[in-house]
Amino acid sequence: MLQHHHYDAVIIGSGAAGLTLALHLDPGLRVAILSKGTLSAGSSSGAQGGVAAVLNQERDSQEQHINDTLIAGAGLCRKEAVEHIVEHGQASIQWLIAQGVPFTPDEKTSGFEFHLTREGGHSERRIIHAADATGKAISDTLISKARTATNIDLYEHHLAIDLVTTQKLGLSEQHCAGLYALDIKSDTVKLFQGKTTIIATGGASKAYLFTSNTDGASGDGIAMAWRSGCRVANMEFNQFHPTGLYHPKAKSFLISEAVRGEGGRLVRPDGSRFMKDYDYRGELAPRDIVARAIDHEMKKLGADCLFLDISHKPADFIKSHFPMIHERCLGYGIDITREPIPVVPAAHYTCGGILVNEKGQTDIPGLFAIGECTYTGLHGANRLASNSLLECFVAARSCAEEINQSINQTPDALEIPHWDDSQVSDADENVVIAHNWDELRRFMWDYVGIVRTNKRLQRAKNRVNLLQYEINDFYSHFKISNDLIELRNLAQVSELIIDSSLERKESRGLHYNVDYPLTDENARETVLTPRNFNKKTALKFSPLGS
């Protein structure tokens, strides 16, 4: 029999956004957090660099941070969203400090008690961090708080399958009533019914062959929201981190931008520097510029990788500032105090996503979304380094405030049908799923990567259409599994990325198309609308730049 759980708020995702939201909800509300793996398995815990916020008022200002963000966003940021998130940054950091996050202290007199570093695109040092394992420090702290909260229930190894909406149930008034989820360990489907449902599932970088993200970054929340009738925006802007570690045994390991912020030099195999040939800011140029420069140099030289060299710095400095990177590289036989680090670009961050307002509201009443799965307007055409975690904390707090105020206005619980798997059978060809997964990620890397063309995009579109047909047929006739659910979501999100890329007839920020190398004077967002979009409940947004 289907297990049926009732909550006030059901949160899908246990990263920085989801945990922060849960801890800010009224303690009188019953809250469920679903994680597809362990609570710390997502991308948040792997973040190295830190959180961008204006903390040292003597040297920095909110105006500077806003301006740096707008410049990096290449004309597509929503200024009101940038202002909202930057202005609430300090309060969010103070809350994290109060929770006990062990940020690195400043050993010198700088006017601020914690050490601040600088990353590409920032005009000042404003990145607060915990050595080079900031995400883990934050994740461990917030998980500990969530485990001791009496109103929060934690469900690990529970993968969301699809949202339940009143429209799907045949009712006229649209509202999200919860979701079906697969309990991976027991291989059973459960129903989580909630007055509010919050998507905090992260991005979709696993759509690409090379990525810095964990295996869970399969775009689940974006795909579910799209299938339920939510608009998505700017999915063509996929950030490729310039410096993923290049080693046959190194899976998804990132060399933090902070290495370049502290003097790391990008060099060719012969040791010569090249970044000043591409941008006056050199190694501290925004990520899209650095990633394209590395990609261009690799293709020009026929090189498998380039190198990031910080060995000119004292060994003690390197070990104290980058202990995790030093230890991990040493495990692969690379001593970064003595030799350069082999690096390649890797898919890193999804700048577009589910269209939301500053409170995290989607187009469907009762459904909220926060974090990397969303498009708030903060990132525009390119994300400024370390603004992502900042967005998680600020958006989660704003979303919690809205839910706390509005949850009593939520409609009564509905009668929701049980999950029906009586017409499906066990799959005897799981190799098909593995093959499709590999094919999808390879053609996304080859055709929808750092540099694009119309012909490559159209080839990708043809491929993804065939895969979608095959995957949906498989989904309809065989018993679901976590691999099949993730593949279905990845294919859907890949289609959205391709469609968005085909819509943009220019090159801007992270989207570079050889056939449209120039940037239009008028910046326009790419908003995709699903066929089952409900205009009556749609969010109303002011025009870009107003």
Spans of all domains in the chain = 3-236+351-407, 243-348, 430-514
Kindly state the average pLDDT of the residues 333-342: 97
Q: Which residue has the higher pLDDT, 530 or 426?
A: 530
- pTM (2 d.p.): 0.90
Confidence of residue 245 (pLDDT cuts 50, 70, 90): very high
- In the DSSP assignment, the letter for residue 190 is E
Q: Whole-number mean pLDDT of the chain? A: 91
Q: What is the CATH number of domain 430-514?
A: 1.20.58.100
CA distance 370 to 184: 24
CATH architecture of the domain with residue range 243-348: Alpha-Beta Complex (3.90)
Q: Give yes or no for residue 465 having a pLDDT over 80.
A: yes
Hey, which residues does 130 pair with through a beta bridge? none
The mean per-residue pLDDT over the stretch 42-49 comes to 78
Question: What's the pLDDT score for residue 422?
Answer: 67
pLDDT at 144 over 70: yes
Comparing C-alpha atoms, which of 242, 39, 272 is closest to residue 140? Answer: 39
**Residues 56, 109 contacting (CB under 8 angstroms):** no
Q: Is the pLDDT of residue 327 over 70?
A: yes
Mean pLDDT of the 469-495 span: 91
3-state helix, strand, coil in the chain (%, to 5): 40, 20, 45
- Asked whether this chain's domains 3-236+351-407 and 243-348 adopt the same fold, the reply is no
Please compute the mean of the pLDDT values over residues 452-468 and round it to a whole number: 96
Position 425 confidence tier, pLDDT thresholds 50, 70, 90: low
Q: Which residues, at least 6 apart from 105, have a Cβ–Cβ distance to it below 8 Å?
A: 113, 114, 115
**pLDDT at residue number 545:** 42
pLDDT exceeds cutoff 60 at 533: yes
| pLDDT value for 42 | 81
Phi then psi for 181, rounded to 5 degrees?
A: -140, 145
Contacts of 355 (CB under 8 A, 6+ apart): 230, 231, 232, 233, 362, 363, 374, 375, 527, 539, 541
**Tell me, which fold does domain 3-236+351-407 have in CATH?**
FAD/NAD(P)-binding domain (3.50.50)
d(CA 261, CA 115): 13
Q: What CA–CA distance (Å, rounded) separates 107 from 291?
A: 33
Retrieve residue 50's tokens. Answer: 């830190």
Q: Catalytic residue numbers? A: 287
Residue 504's pLDDT band (cuts 50, 70, 90) = very high
At residue 103, does pLDDT exceed 50? yes
